[in-house]
Amino acid sequence: MILRFLGNILAVVIGLGIFTGLVIFLVFALASSGGSPSISQKSVLVFKLRGNITERDIDNPIPNFNNPLNPVTSGTGLLGILHNIKKAKQDSKIAGILLNLRGVSAGFASLKEIREALIDFKKSKKFVLAYGESLSEGAYYLASVADKIYVNPTGDIEFNGLSAERTFYKGALDKLEVKPEVFRVGTYKSAVEPYLVDKMSEASREQTESYLNSIYNLYLKDVSKSRGIALEELTKISDSLLVQNVQDALKYKLITHVGYYDEIEAEMKKRLGLKAKTRVKLVNYGKYREVKTEWSEQQSEPNANIAVIVAEGEIQSGNGGDGVIGSAKIVTALRTARKRKSVKAVVLRINSPGGSALASDVMWREIHLTRKVKPVIASMSDVAASGGYYIAMACDTIVAQPNTITGSIGIFSVYFDVSQLMKNKIGITTDYVNTGEFSALGNPNKPFTAKEKAIIQRGVNQGYESFTSKAAKDRGMQLDALKRIASGRVWSGSEAKANGLVDILGSFDDAVAIAAKRAKLKSGEYRLHYFPIEKPFLDKVRDNLGVSAKARQQIVKKELGEWYPYFEILKKVKEKPKVQARLPYDIVIK
């Protein structure tokens, strides 16, 4: 009894301690969020861009505290970066921008958007400088727009072309005696290949080479223009790996200086007219985005709005979350934008490889209902493919970057037969009593019959016909013509434009301008209103203090070690199969 009493007392004390700590964190967080910070004249805005670049900012609701059971995966928002570069262009206190780069975790379409914003910034006659201890291919893509590029003498620069990598699970499935049952439509719908083969099919390799070369050719053209180096020369430098160290990069004029950070500081002082011992006033991006300027205040004055609905991540039914597009949440945002009188047009910003065909179709319908009332413009980011293209095609106009990954018009479904795994590896068998011939259809503990396979394939075929028919109608194409460029094939933005899948090659700003023009709004007569609306502060704190699925995944991964890939396969086996409108695989370009 005494021990139980003492245990209860201890639990109460611990609970009070946690509550008190939470209150302290909340007070500090709220205090730190009050007021707009001020900056001095001749300040330099610094972009480090070390973490992920997402469409919108992902912040820790409690600064300087990270719950080990629910770590916050921070992300610097692309749309915020673009807004603040514009703000800095108009801000008389900002004299220039310093890009302090290394590796940048972003797709090349996002990087192109930032490059274009920096090029526009330079029209104000302000400087852009870049420094890196080492520069990845993506980091150099950004750095190439700078007036001066410094790289550490013992650092390195990557300039050898792009590579697309994918992983295959067939060998693991064979060892586990798991048999995949695949149902798909389309020569290029190769999302299922990792379960069937141990290397790329010829069709998959063909499409990958096509869009990868398209993306890299654009990369080289952009760098050629920024650095004043002939395209043929750049191609030779890359293909022959002529740049193997920073001295090579200097020799071939990819960079302007081999130097240390203090040397680029000296360059900034020279441009700012400062004495050698005077300190450069640097403003980190995290601070600057909280700064209010006359220009940024003007952006919130007009009554008319353009709703920007951000759809980022894999597509699923429900509300989704960070990195997941929940169809219910996007539908709510579309309905709100449609019914709100102050909203005159909608820009649907898409960064998604696709996902659930059902969830995609639910959003497709809501977009069509919205475009009956006001213009809806699709703005494609790094990826808008399969289910991501499904929702884009419903819009009035589709805007993509030339290096956006899109298309992949096709669907598939994967089931797994684990009967041999259960019997031979674990020693478990099952038996059934059914009321009908197909009562156990899709059960992973039994092999498929020929009739069952035919039923599922027929459903997938019907889904493909529905997808392609809707795409043909939305794009104003004959169905046969649409199918010739469908079959699950992935295209770059420029290839998609040539094939009629995209209307305009351009940026997010271009999409906004089209939406404004369609709504008959002039510049300065509107502001952007972002959806879905972010969670309230206290809700973010509550979520942060819980145990996340990601944290649980990390714990399992640590415990299982080299066996973790097999565990991931078993998870897929356990999941209920769904018809997917998804990219052929997770594209990793590096």
Q: Which residues are catalytic?
A: 189, 386
C-alpha to C-alpha distance for 370 and 389, rounded to whole angstroms: 17
Would you call 313 helix, strand, or coil by DSSP? coil
C-alpha to C-alpha distance for 104 and 53, rounded to whole angstroms: 8
Would you call 296 helix, strand, or coil by DSSP? helix
Token reading at 213: 């070369």
Token reading at 130: 């870049």
C-alpha to C-alpha distance for 309 and 568, rounded to whole angstroms: 32
CA–CA–CA angle 420, 422, 425 (5° rounding): 85
Would you call 484 helix, strand, or coil by DSSP? helix
- The single-letter DSSP state of residue 421 is I
Count Cβ atoms within 10 A of the Cβ of residue 121 and give its class: 0-12 exposed, 13-18 middle, 19 or more buried: buried
C-alpha to C-alpha distance for 194 and 482, rounded to whole angstroms: 27
Question: Mutual orientation of helices 450-475 and 357-371 as an angle, nearest 10°?
Answer: 20
Q: Estimate to the nearest angstrom the gap between the alpha carbon of 121 and the chain centroid.
A: 24
Alpha helices in 372-431 (DSSP H): 387-392, 419-420
C-alpha to C-alpha distance for 149 and 163, rounded to whole angstroms: 25
Helix or strand holding residue 13 (H, E): helix 2-32
Token reading at 497: 């434009």
C-alpha to C-alpha distance for 312 and 493, rounded to whole angstroms: 18
Task: Give the chain's length.
Answer: 590
Amino acid symbol at 387? G
C-alpha to C-alpha distance for 400 and 411, rounded to whole angstroms: 22
Amino acid symbol at 315? I
Token reading at 390: 């499904």
Amino acid symbol at 311? A
Q: Answer for the pair 420, 232: CB distance below 8 angstroms, yes or no.
A: no
Q: Answer for the pair 355, 582: CB distance below 8 angstroms, yes or no.
A: yes
Token reading at 265: 């500081």
Q: Answer for the pair 119, 82: CB distance below 8 angstroms, yes or no.
A: no
Q: What are phi and psi of 203, to 5 degrees?
A: -65, -45
- The single-letter DSSP state of residue 55 is S
DSSP result, 158-200: --S---EE----HHHHHHHT-EEEEEE-STT-GGGHHHH-SS-
> 10 Å Cβ neighbour count for 127?
19
